[in-house]
Amino acid sequence: MREMIFWGATGQAKVLRECMKNSGLKLVALFDNNDILSSPFSDVPLYFGNEGFENWLSKRKTIAPVGFLVAIGGDKGEDRIELQKYLESRGLLALIAKHPTAFIADNTKIGPGSQILANSSVCVNNIIGRGCIINTGVILDHECYVDDGVHICPGAHLAGCVTIGRYSTIGMGGIILPRIKLGERVVIGAGTVVLEDVPSDTILVGNPARVLKKRNEANEQIQVRK
């Protein structure tokens, strides 16, 4: 494998290209669903949506495998995982991005499609799922479990034995104390300090953390807790 693509053509693509510059892989194409974008790289073409991808794939002249990363940040974990499944179904291989300045313990397990970015520390016996982003300057202490599609934003700190449910987002500078468990689709606001377990579909802010909103899956509305 000598080539790779990114799905996503904004800031995360720029971050990932720098992260992968020593990988030996050539970035040959970008894809995005937003057809008003232009490529951030003068040497890499941008195609739009599934149709653009399928056309690109059909015109390839080599059967050599192509690697990919989903370059979508924010709280779009479910989108990252769905795109990853789609690209894998079309024969592409999900890469793991590891910035050369990141510390990653030898016994940490990292799932396909995950991204460990600059100056982050991922310590012993951590397990990171598929399609996760461990962003700039993040600290994961020992024995944390990070499920699929999680984004831990720049400067966040997880103490030992923390569990993060799939598709959750930990905001910039967030702090999770030891042995805390977060459910699925949890959002922790920037600078929030979490002192106790958090149920799924909850948005927390503040120091100490308080519930700002609950996601109501039944009617797809967000209700504010008084």
- 150 located within any domain: yes
Closest to 126 (Cα-Cα) out of 177, 78, 160: 160
DSSP conformation letters of 125-154: T-EE-TT-EE-TT-EE-TT-EE-TT-EE-T
Q: Which two tokens stand for residue 221?
A: 């509305």
Start-to-end CA distance of the chain, whole Å, equals 54
- 126 located within any domain: yes
Q: Are residues 65 and 126 in the same domain?
A: no
3-state DSSP helix/strand/coil percent for the chain, to nearest 5?
A: 15, 30, 55
Q: Are residues 118 and 88 in the same domain?
A: no
pLDDT, tens digit (0-9, with 9 covering 90-100), for 21-75: 999 999 999 999 999 999 999 999 999 999 999 999 999 887 788 999 999 999 9
pLDDT, tens digit (0-9, with 9 covering 90-100), for 193-209: 999 999 999 999 999 98
Number of domains in the chain: 2
Asked if 198 contacts 186 with a C-beta cutoff of 8 angstroms, the reply is: yes
Q: What is the mean pLDDT of residues 73-86?
A: 95
pLDDT, tens digit (0-9, with 9 covering 90-100), for 125-168: 999 999 999 999 999 999 999 999 999 999 999 999 999 999 99
- 159 located within any domain: yes
The helix/strand/coil state of 219 is coil
Q: Are residues 49 and 120 in the same domain?
A: no
Which of 30, 62, 95 finishes a domain?
95
Q: Are residues 111 and 88 in the same domain?
A: no
Residue bearing the bigger pLDDT, 213 or 119: 119
Alpha carbons 79 and 91: distance in angstroms, whole number: 19
Q: What is the mean pLDDT of residues 109-120?
A: 98
pLDDT for residue 88 is more than 80 = yes
State the pLDDT at residue 212.
Answer: 86
State the pLDDT at residue 145.
Answer: 98
pLDDT band, residue 221 (cuts 50/70/90): very low
State the pLDDT at residue 216.
Answer: 64
Q: Are residues 179 and 107 in the same domain?
A: yes
Which of 34, 61, 95 finishes a domain?
95
pLDDT band, residue 219 (cuts 50/70/90): very low
Q: What is the mean pLDDT of residues 178-187?
A: 97
pLDDT band, residue 99 (cuts 50/70/90): very high
State the pLDDT at residue 34.
Answer: 95
Alpha carbons 166 and 128: distance in angstroms, whole number: 10
State the pLDDT at residue 224.
Answer: 33
The helix/strand/coil state of 34 is coil
pLDDT band, residue 1 (cuts 50/70/90): low
Q: Are residues 116 and 185 in the same domain?
A: yes
Which of 79, 95, 111 finishes a domain?
95
- Expressed as residue numbers, the domain containing 182 is 98-218
Between the CA of residue 19 and those of 7, 56, 78, 116, what are the distances in Å?
15, 25, 23, 9
∠ CA 168-84-38, rounded to 5°: 95
Q: Are residues 31 and 8 in the same domain?
A: yes
Asked if 178 contacts 159 with a C-beta cutoff of 8 angstroms, the reply is: yes
For the purposes of burial, counting CB atoms within 10 Å of the CB of 167, is it exposed (0-12), middle (13-18) or buried (19 or more)? buried
